[in-house]
Amino acid sequence: EISRVMLAIKSIFAQSDDIDTVIFDEIDTGISGKASQSVADEIKELAKFHQIVLITHQPIIASKADKHFYVRKSQEDETKVEVYVLTGDNRIKALAELAGGEINERSIEFAKSLVNA
């Protein structure tokens, strides 16, 4: 909830705020498709004035980003974190996996529709 409250506050003061970067973690928790679209639109608007770093599991929100990173964490003897920049088909595949849990024709078509919306 606090992330969405901060989004609302930041949106109101976006043009007069001196903060360069805004970070939102899990802003999508507990919201559905229609609410996700509203949050995505607000974040896209806020991004006109600030650099936005956003962690999300909602493909509707993620699809609005100008740049995507895939973060993978593994734990064996030690914790490892790998970060990859996603471009082109890899970006579509990552959004498709978020949307459908697996990469198939339907999830890829949905991901493409989000990016082209």
In the prediction, which pLDDT does 14 show?
67
- Angle between the N-to-C axes of helices 88-100 and 105-115, in degrees from 0 to 180, rounded to the nearest 10: 110
Say which DSSP state 19 is in: -
In the prediction, which pLDDT does 65 show?
92
Is pLDDT of 2 > 70?
A: no
46 — pLDDT class (breaks 50, 70, 90)? confident
- Angle between the N-to-C axes of helices 2-13 and 33-46, in degrees from 0 to 180, rounded to the nearest 10: 40
- The percentage of residues in the chain with a pLDDT greater than 90, rounded to a whole number, is 45
Is pLDDT of 60 > 70?
A: yes
Q: Encode 7-41: b = buried (16+ Cβ within 10 Å), e = exposed.
A: beebeeebeeeeeeebebeebbeebeeeebbebbe
93 closest CA partner among 81, 77, 79, 104: 104
pTM score of the predicted model: 0.78
**Three-state SS at 67:** coil
Is pLDDT of 97 > 90?
A: yes
Tokens of 104: 């198939």
Tokens of 14: 């976006």
In the prediction, which pLDDT does 83 show?
95
